[in-house]
């Protein structure tokens, strides 16, 4: 890029500001277009396709939460499937045992998973890199066992799991149950993304990123490391829990083996494919983990695992920034070409 | 009393299996500072190779060393071709690559050999068994202890072993005195894979052969490696035995067998929180 790229008498800073304004308008337009498209899905697609897209939204919430922890804060969790399962079970128990309405489960799950994640994050403070990966890895492996444990079976349903009644459509709304649930998840996804985006662009986000890049410098700047790290773990578990609760509502069923190690790995694959430390990457990652195993399973039972493994290594090798990184690079190439043409 | 003794002896023998796998983990950790999450799946894959050889009519005591050789080559090749490009990558990237390897080995094994549980016959004669210890348990003790002794002798008394220790301790100076650090790193991976394969083959008659057989063993091997001190190979053996005995006692008298993995999780968390260096490890300080 040469200096002639900045034509007229604009200083670089002013040009950057103007480009930023332009970029922001384009970005907001892009988001609105995606939301508008997302609103059309249940009217165009079949009810099965609507269900699949509901799961894409659910995974997107969980992936955003995991990415806040892994991508922005640099704490590696291989066990977020456990928090996903925790959220699902809290929602299921509230509805199955106490007959509470489906919408009331979400705030309760959010608060409980925030606390649960915060508490797990406190000891995790002492663990870095590999050790944290190890602790969360064993959490993921142990979770189905804990859910099956006979002493809790009275609440968790043991091996059998719990069945939940379908989500009722409010009176006067001309939608099917699937469609209504889709919009419920879409609304929550938007709220969670807004919270996540807002969190990451402000002071808190800067502190979270500073801890990842320069922990010592961050502390000497007055950032409370212990608080921010545990809180990030809590927020991240909250996202996973809310996603889990929505998945329980959608599947109308929870069972111990749906929250196994494979789920945690899927979430990891999702953020790697979408792009580590990106907000929008969660959507690409969610599409990947929802549809690729389905397609791969036509080939062989083990093919979806194989695809996941190859994706993990291949993405790290070829595009460590995932799909979003690729898009950014392409955009850079295009705008570079435009500039040199002008 | 007999029941208690029985639990302890069988804990010690499974402890030897954990110790072998933990030693493999510690070896790789020592030279690279990485915990190989795929170690268990590599061992599982080697065990399938041994199983296939035995099925094809090869006598066990020929199939066993052949498999170890195969595992060595596998570990060597993985280090050279999969991990070498990520030599300077951050921890996050390395762990993701390890998880990728874990997933790939698991799926390839399922693809080639199927997901059915296969009985793996114990290679040890029944006459070895006593009232307290079964033939296979005694065999595990003999085989793993000889392997561990061989590893010790190799590192202590051969020049290749000395070079490998030097390369792990101070790669830059070792390179300056003419040690081929990169090559030795791959050799270390090969050795670790072979030691892991021993653990897999010894475990197979107990847990049955299937692609997910190592998940439970792996998590206990992690606990053993941490308890013994992740940077001390000699600690892996007592670590493995303690973990094996604790697992059996907790399973028999405290929580029941339903929570075996959770017991391991609790052990790992306790070690990491109370004494992250393990019982026999060095405490490392980082300079900032």
- pLDDT, tens only, B126-173: 777 777 788 888 999 899 889 889 988 998 899 999 999 898 888 899
Check residue A20 and give its pLDDT: 54
> Could you tell me which of A280, A208, A328 has the C-alpha nearest to residue A64?
A280
| Average pLDDT of the segment spanning A188-205 | 92
Between A302 and B89, where is the model more confident?
Answer: B89
pLDDT value at A22 more than 70: no
CB interface of A with B, residues 55-94, below 8 Å: 70, 74, 76, 78
- Give the 3-state secondary structure of residue A60: helix
Residue holding tokens 């500073």? A210
Distance from the Cα of B174 to chain A's closest Cα (Å) equals 26
pLDDT, tens digit (0-9, with 9 covering 90-100), for B268-282: 888 888 888 888 877
pLDDT value at B30 more than 80: yes
Residue holding tokens 């002071």? A203
List CB contacts of A151: < 8 A, sequence separation 6 or more. none
Judged on CB neighbours under 10 Å (0-12, 13-18, 19+), A324 is: buried
Tokens encoding B168? 């792990």
Domain enclosing residue B180, as ranges: 2-114+133-213
Whole-angstrom Cα distance, residue B15 to residue B217? 10
List CB contacts of A87: < 8 A, sequence separation 6 or more. A109, A113, A240, A241, A242, A243, A244, A245, A248
B115/A305 Cβ within 8 A: no
| Angle ∠(A224,A226,A229) on CA atoms, nearest 5 | 100
Check residue A14 and give its pLDDT: 53
Among the partner residues A139, A216, A302, nearest to B265 by beta-carbon distance: A139
Whole-angstrom Cα distance, residue A97 to residue A116? 21
- Kindly indicate the confidence band of residue A18, based on its pLDDT and cuts at 50, 70 and 90: low
Whole-angstrom Cα distance, residue A257 to residue A237? 19
Whole-angstrom Cα distance, residue B140 to residue A324? 51
CA dihedral A291, A80, A262, A304 (to 10 degrees): 30
- For B215, the closest chain A residue by CA position comes to A141
| Average pLDDT of the segment spanning A60-77 | 94
- For B96, the closest chain A residue by CA position comes to A312
pLDDT value at B222 more than 50: yes
pLDDT, tens digit (0-9, with 9 covering 90-100), for A227-240: 999 999 999 999 99
Q: What percent of chain A has pLDDT above 90?
A: 50
Whole-angstrom Cα distance, residue A148 to residue A159? 5
How far, in Å, are B50, B57, B126 from residue B62 at the CA level? 10, 10, 20
pLDDT, tens digit (0-9, with 9 covering 90-100), for B250-266: 888 887 777 888 888 88
- Taking a C-beta distance cutoff of 8 angstroms, is the pair A325, A319 a contact? yes
H or E element at residue B254: none
Whole-angstrom Cα distance, residue A203 to residue B228? 42
A313/B222 Cβ within 8 A: no
Distance from the Cα of A271 to chain B's closest Cα (Å) equals 11
**Cβ atoms within 10 Å of B50's Cβ, excluding its own:** 25
- Taking a C-beta distance cutoff of 8 angstroms, is the pair B163, B38 a contact? no
- Residue B256: inside a domain: no
Tokens encoding A175? 């939608």
pLDDT value at A324 more than 50: yes
Whole-angstrom Cα distance, residue B44 to residue B47? 5
Check residue A263 and give its pLDDT: 93
List CB contacts of A166: < 8 A, sequence separation 6 or more. A177, A252
What is the interface pTM, i.e. ipTM, of the complex? 0.86
Q: How do beta strands A162-163 and A253-254 pair?
A: antiparallel
Whole-angstrom Cα distance, residue A82 to residue A140? 6
Check residue B238 and give its pLDDT: 92
Between A191 and A153, where is the model more confident?
Answer: A191
- Kindly indicate the confidence band of residue B284, based on its pLDDT and cuts at 50, 70 and 90: low
Judged on CB neighbours under 10 Å (0-12, 13-18, 19+), B280 is: middle
CB interface of B with A, residues 258-287, below 8 Å: 258-262, 264-265, 268-269, 272-273, 276
Whole-angstrom Cα distance, residue A59 to residue A77? 16
Q: Where are the alpha helices (DSSP H) in A68-176?
A: 80-98, 102-124, 129-148, 153-156
Whole-angstrom Cα distance, residue A227 to residue A124? 12
Q: At A162, phi and psi to the nearest 5?
A: -125, 145
Per-chain mean pLDDT for chain B:
89
B276/A145 Cβ within 8 A: no
Domain boundaries, chain A: 58-258
Per-chain mean pLDDT for chain A:
88
- Taking a C-beta distance cutoff of 8 angstroms, is the pair B105, A307 a contact? no
Q: What is the DSSP letter of B287?
A: -
Among the partner residues B85, B95, B107, nearest to A302 by beta-carbon distance: B107
Whole-angstrom Cα distance, residue A60 to residue A243? 8
pLDDT value at B109 more than 90: yes
Check residue A2 and give its pLDDT: 36
- Taking a C-beta distance cutoff of 8 angstroms, is the pair B254, B247 a contact? no
A225 touches B at CB < 8 Å = no
| Average pLDDT of the segment spanning B68-73 | 96
Sequence-ordered strand ranges (E) for chain B:
none
B92/A276 Cβ within 8 A: yes
A216/B288 Cβ within 8 A: yes
Whole-angstrom Cα distance, residue A80 to residue A262? 11
Query: String of b and e for B78-101 (b: at least 16 CB within 10 Å)?
Result: bbbebbeebeeeebbbbbbbbbbb
pLDDT, tens digit (0-9, with 9 covering 90-100), for A121-175: 887 777 777 888 888 998 998 899 889 988 888 888 888 899 998 888 988 888 8
Between B132 and B183, where is the model more confident?
Answer: B183
Strand-pairing partners, residue B118, are B209
- Give the 3-state secondary structure of residue A18: helix
- Taking a C-beta distance cutoff of 8 angstroms, is the pair A135, A77 a contact? no
Strand-pairing partners, residue A162, are A254
- For A307, the closest chain B residue by CA position comes to B104
Whole-angstrom Cα distance, residue A203 to residue A215? 16
- B215 vs A contacts (CB less than 8 Å): 141, 261
Q: Where are the alpha helices (DSSP H) in B129-180?
A: 135-157, 159-169, 171-176
- A219 vs B contacts (CB less than 8 Å): none
Between B183 and A22, where is the model more confident?
Answer: B183
Separation of first and last alpha carbons in chain A: 12
Distance from the Cα of B91 to chain A's closest Cα (Å) equals 6
Judged on CB neighbours under 10 Å (0-12, 13-18, 19+), B2 is: exposed
Between A6 and A105, where is the model more confident?
Answer: A105
Tokens encoding A193? 């993304």
Whole-angstrom Cα distance, residue A247 to residue B154? 54
CB interface of A with B, residues 117-176, below 8 Å: 123, 126-127, 129-131, 133-135, 137-139, 141-142, 145-146, 148-150
H or E element at residue A163: strand A162-163
| Average pLDDT of the segment spanning B239-247 | 93
Whole-angstrom Cα distance, residue A302 to residue A318? 24
Distance from the Cα of A239 to chain B's closest Cα (Å) equals 21
Tokens encoding B259? 């929570």
A141/B261 Cβ within 8 A: yes
Check residue A21 and give its pLDDT: 60
- Taking a C-beta distance cutoff of 8 angstroms, is the pair A64, A193 a contact? yes
* Total domains, chain B: 1
């Amino acid at each position: 890029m040469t200096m002639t790229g900045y034509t007229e008498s604009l200083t670089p800073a002013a040009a950057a500001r103007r480009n930023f304004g332009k970029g922001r308008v384009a970005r907001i337009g892009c988001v609105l277009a995606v939301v508008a498209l997302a609103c059309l899905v249940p009217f165009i697609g079949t009810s099965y396709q609507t269900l699949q897209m509901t799961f894409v939204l659910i995974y997107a919430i969980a992936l955003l939460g995991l990415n806040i922890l892994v991508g922005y804060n640099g704490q590696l969790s291989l066990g977020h499937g456990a928090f996903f399962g925790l959220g699902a079970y809290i929602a299921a128990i509230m509805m199955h045992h106490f007959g509470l309405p489906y919408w009331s489960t979400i705030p309760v799950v959010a608060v409980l998973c925030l606390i649960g994640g915060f508490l797990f994050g406190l000891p995790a403070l002492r663990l870095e890199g590999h050790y944290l990966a190890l602790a969360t890895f064993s959490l993921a492996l142990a979770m189905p066992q804990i859910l099956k444990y006979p002493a809790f079976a009275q609440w968790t349903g043991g091996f059998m799991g719990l069945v939940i009644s379908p989500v009722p459509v409010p009176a006067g709304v001309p939608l099917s149950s699937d469609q209504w649930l889709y919009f419920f998840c879409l609304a929550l996804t938007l709220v969670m993304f807004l919270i996540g985006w807002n969190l990451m662009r402000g002071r808190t986000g800067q502190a979270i990123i500073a801890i990842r890049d320069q922990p010592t410098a961050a502390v000497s700047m007055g950032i409370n490391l212990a608080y921010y790290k545990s809180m990030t773990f809590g927020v991240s578990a909250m996202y996973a829990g809310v996603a889990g609760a929505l998945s329980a509502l959608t599947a109308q069923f929870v069972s111990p083996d749906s929250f196994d190690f494979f789920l945690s790995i899927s979430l990891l694959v999702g953020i790697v494919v979408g792009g580590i430390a990106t907000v929008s990457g969660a959507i690409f990652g969610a599409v990947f983990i929802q549809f690729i195993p389905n397609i791969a399973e036509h080939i062989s039972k083990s093919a979806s695992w194989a695809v996941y493994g190859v994706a993990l290594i291949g993405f790290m090798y070829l595009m460590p920034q995932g799909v979003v990184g690729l898009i950014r690079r392409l955009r850079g190439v295009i705008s570079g070409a435009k500039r040199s043409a002008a | 009393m007999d029941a208690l003794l029985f639990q302890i002896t069988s804990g010690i023998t499974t402890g030897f299996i954990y110790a072998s796998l933990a030693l493999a983990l510690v070896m790789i950790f020592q030279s690279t500072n990485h915990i190989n999450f795929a170690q268990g799946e590599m061992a599982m894959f080697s065990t399938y190779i041994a199983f296939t050889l035995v099925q094809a009519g090869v006598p066990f005591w020929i199939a066993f060393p052949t498999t170890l050789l195969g595992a060595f080559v596998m570990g060597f090749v993985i280090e050279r071709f999969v991990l070498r490009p990520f030599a300077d990558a951050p921890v996050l990237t390395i762990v993701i690559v390890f998880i990728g390897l874990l997933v790939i080995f698991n799926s390839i094994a399922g693809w080639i050999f199927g997901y059915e549980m296969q009985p793996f016959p114990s290679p040890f004669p029944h006459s070895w068994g006593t009232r307290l210890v079964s033939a296979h348990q005694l065999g595990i003790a003999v085989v793993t202890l000889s392997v561990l002794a061989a590893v010790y002798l190799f590192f202590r008394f051969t020049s290749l072993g000395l070079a490998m220790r030097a390369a792990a301790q101070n790669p830059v100076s070792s390179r300056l005195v003419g040690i081929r650090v990169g090559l030795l790193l791959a050799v270390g991976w090969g050795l670790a894979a072979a030691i892991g394969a021993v653990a897999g083959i010894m475990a197979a008659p107990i847990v049955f052969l299937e692609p997910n057989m190592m998940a439970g063993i792996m998590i206990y091997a992690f606990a053993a490696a941490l308890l013994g001190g992740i940077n001390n190979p000699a600690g892996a053996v007592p670590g493995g035995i303690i973990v094996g005995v604790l697992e059996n006692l907790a399973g028999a008298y405290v929580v029941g067998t339903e929570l075996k993995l959770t017991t391991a999780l609790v052990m790992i968390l306790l070690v990491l929180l109370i004494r992250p260096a393990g019982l026999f490890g060095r405490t490392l300080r980082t300079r900032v």
